[in-house]
């Protein structure tokens, strides 16, 4: 608490100094000149230049924070990732904000490296984690894929390696920066709040309709509009790049907040978390992503298996079971509920087509242990390897895409990584003594499991900001265990 108080005092001191400097004649003159230039540009129908100039200043501020105040830069980068696609819809112009986010992660990594040379808290035992070891093996295999003889051109590999490298860097950055219990609590609170805001805006889109700019943007692409307009309603995407990203973020975070609410002792916080979980669940359902319907049952099922002796767990299992029955059998004709019910409809045409596609491509997977090469299937294949035999084949599944692009070897290595994440989360849960950390790690493990389940029918790991949460908490498993071990050592010394 003392360190947090000192941090707040330091922050307010810096703000006071900044305000004081802007109050000087030079500062007032600078602001006045900016105002005059902005007014002149707006009066001459060049308001976009004003926004561009403001954007450049803002980008400079964020880059500066990443280099010289990495913790602040970390959250500014995440904040930018949440809204990276929204300006494109409002202005109907493609803006490379997602690329800017990737560049920010690189600056952030440099900032944490420089800060880590003088800060012992940045260091730890990340390399001793089973998750890290398997992640390194997956990275090495990804590099080997560059030499896959079945890949026509390496352009797709280089394109994907850029984003994959960003996620690996973020994995390391998260471990370096979130190095105290106070920082971890803030990290988790940030994700809950931002996910809540995102889901709340998705609910706004459902209840009051899309903004005219958003509607015009999706109507510009007839194919995209056809995918979004299902069952007489438009599927909602909130601020994010699409309905799949929105549905998966809302679904996984609804699992996390539900479990946190179940274990919260303070009634006020319990009710707040429960309300957030409800809004997140509504956001997930409004996305119209059918696969996300299984996220809550899957996450709660794992939670039940881990904490079966807990009375609250049995009540949660009963409520979840009744909720699933309500969704499937309730005599209510509602587009959102109908869309969710189709998840369990074995006669659904799109489901049957996907099953047939999987069966037809299995001989290729068996004959190619390394797959066809990175970015050779689906839309990516049409873009980077149009002459490849997998180009245009719709994987419609994260697991199937792994098997097609990286072969059954790549699929097996990825599944081992995911199994290690589940094993480490459950193993640490039973090793920990601190009840607070136990609640955090079981909630995160179940949330990650709910994401893994969706890989059967979606490419659900890889989009921002979801991928930042996925890779960020992967490294924080180890940090949580380290927090608990340090407390155990202190308690042993004090006793």
Query: For the segment 188-215, what is each residue's pLDDT rounded down to a tens digit?
Result: 999 999 999 999 999 999 999 899 998 9
The dihedral region occupied by 238, where left means phi > 0, alpha psi between -120 and 50, and beta the remainder, is left
Tokens matching residue 5: 């108080």
User: Which three-class secondary structure state does DSSP give residue 268?
Assistant: helix
| H or E stretch covering 153 | none
**Smallest Cα–Cα separation from 164: which of 476, 471, 441?**
471
Question: Whose CA is closest to 153, among 378, 411, 380, 414?
Answer: 380
Distance between CA atoms of residues 215 and 71, nearest Å:
37
Q: What is the structure's pLDDT at 14?
A: 54
Q: What share of the chain has pLDDT > 90, as a percent?
A: 46
Eight-state DSSP code of residue 233: E
Q: pLDDT-based confidence at 336, cuts 50/70/90?
A: low
pTM, full prediction: 0.83
369 in Cβ contact with 430 (< 8 Å) = no
Q: What angle do CA 107, 21, 30 make, to 5 degrees?
A: 85
User: How far is residue 402's CA from residue 450's CA, in Å, rounded to a whole number?
Assistant: 18
Q: Is the pLDDT of residue 357 over 90?
A: no
Question: In this model, does residue 290 exceed pLDDT 70?
Answer: yes
The token pair at 348 is 């659904």
Kindly give, in sequence order, each residue whose CB lies less than 8 Å from that of residue 382, ignoring residues fewer than 6 positions away: 391, 392
Mean of the per-residue pLDDT values for the chain?
83
Distance CA 135, CA 474 (A): 10
Going by pLDDT thresholds of 50, 70 and 90, the confidence category of residue 72 is very high
| Rounded-to-integer distance, Cα 288 and Cα 233, Å | 9
Answer yes or no: is pLDDT of 262 > 70.
Answer: yes
Reported confidence tier of residue 101, pLDDT bands at 50, 70, 90: very high
The Cα 336–Cα 243 span in angstroms is 13
Residue 458 per-residue DSSP state? S
Please report the pLDDT score of residue 261 as a whole number. Answer: 94
pLDDT in tens, 396-422: 788 889 999 999 999 999 999 999 999
Question: Domain map of the chain by residue range?
Answer: 43-118, 124-487
331, pLDDT greater than 60: no
Rounded average pLDDT over 142-156: 90
Sign for the CA dihedral angle at 318, 340, 414, 123 comes to: negative
Taking 80 as the threshold, does the pLDDT of residue 9 lie above it?
Answer: no
Q: How high is the pLDDT of residue 394?
A: 83
What separation, in Å, do the N-terminal and C-terminal C-alpha atoms of the chain show? Answer: 23
Write out pLDDT tens, residues 422-471: 999 999 999 999 999 999 999 999 999 999 988 887 877 878 899 999 99
Using CA atoms, how far apart are residues 342 and 354, in angstroms rounded to an integer? 14
User: What stretch of H or E contains 234?
Assistant: strand 233-234
Q: Which residue has the tokens 């930018």?
A: 80
User: Residue holding tokens 């409002």?
Assistant: 90
d(C-alpha 138, C-alpha 159), whole Å? 17
pLDDT in the model for residue 187: 96
């Amino acid at each position: 608490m003392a360190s947090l108080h000192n941090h707040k005092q330091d922050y307010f001191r810096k703000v006071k100094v900044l305000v004081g400097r802007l109050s000087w004649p030079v500062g007032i003159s600078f602001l006045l000149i900016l105002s005059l230039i902005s007014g002149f540009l707006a009066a001459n129908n060049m308001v976009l230049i004003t926004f561009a100039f403001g954007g450049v200043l803002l980008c400079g501020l964020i880059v500066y924070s990443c280099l010289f105040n990495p913790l602040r830069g970390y959250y500014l980068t995440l904040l930018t990732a949440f809204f990276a696609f929204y300006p494109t819809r409002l202005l109907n112009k493609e803006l490379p904000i997602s690329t800017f986010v990737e560049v920010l992660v690189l600056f952030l990594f440099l900032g944490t490296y420089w800060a880590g040379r003088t800060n012992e808290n940045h260091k730890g035992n990340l390399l001793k984690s089973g998750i890290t070891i398997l992640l390194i093996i997956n990275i090495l295999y990804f590099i080997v894929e560059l030499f896959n003889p079945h890949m026509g051109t390496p352009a797709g590999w280089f394109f994907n390696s850029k984003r994959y490298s960003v996620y690996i860097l973020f994995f390391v950055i998260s471990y370096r920066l979130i190095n105290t219990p106070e920082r971890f609590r803030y990290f988790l609170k940030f994700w809950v709040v931002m996910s809540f805001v995102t889901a709340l805006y998705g609910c706004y889109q459902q209840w009051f309709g899309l903004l005219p700019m958003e509607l015009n943007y999706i109507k510009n692409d007839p194919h995209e509009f056809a995918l979004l307009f299902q069952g007489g309603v438009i599927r909602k995407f909130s601020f994010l790049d699409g309905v799949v990203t929105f549905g998966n973020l809302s679904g996984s975070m609804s699992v996390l907040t539900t479990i946190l609410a179940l274990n919260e002792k303070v009634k006020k916080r319990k009710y707040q978390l429960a309300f957030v979980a409800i809004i997140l669940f509504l956001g997930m359902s409004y996305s119209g992503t059918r696969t996300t319907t299984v996220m809550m049952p899957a996450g709660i099922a794992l939670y039940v298996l881990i904490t079966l002796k807990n009375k609250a767990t049995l009540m949660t299992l009963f409520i979840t079971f009744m909720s699933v029955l309500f969704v499937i059998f309730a005599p209510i004709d509602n587009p959102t509920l109908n869309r969710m019910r189709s998840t369990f409809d074995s006669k659904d045409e799109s489901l049957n087509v996907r099953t047939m596609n999987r069966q037809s491509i299995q001989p290729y997977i068996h004959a190619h242990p390394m797959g066809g090469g990175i970015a050779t299937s689906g839309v990516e294949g049409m873009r980077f390897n149009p002459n490849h035999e997998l180009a245009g084949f719709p994987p419609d599944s994260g697991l199937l895409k792994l098997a097609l692009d990286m072969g059954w070897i790549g699929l097996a290595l990825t599944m081992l990584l995911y199994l290690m994440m589940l094993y480490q989360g459950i193993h640490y849960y039973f090793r920990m003594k601190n009840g607070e950390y136990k609640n955090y790690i079981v909630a995160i493990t179940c949330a990650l499991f709910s994401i893994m389940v969706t890989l059967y029918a979606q490419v659900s790991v890889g989009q921002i900001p979801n991928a930042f949460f996925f890779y960020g908490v992967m490294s924080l498993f180890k940090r949580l265990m380290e927090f608990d071990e340090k407390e155990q050592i202190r308690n042993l010394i004090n006793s």
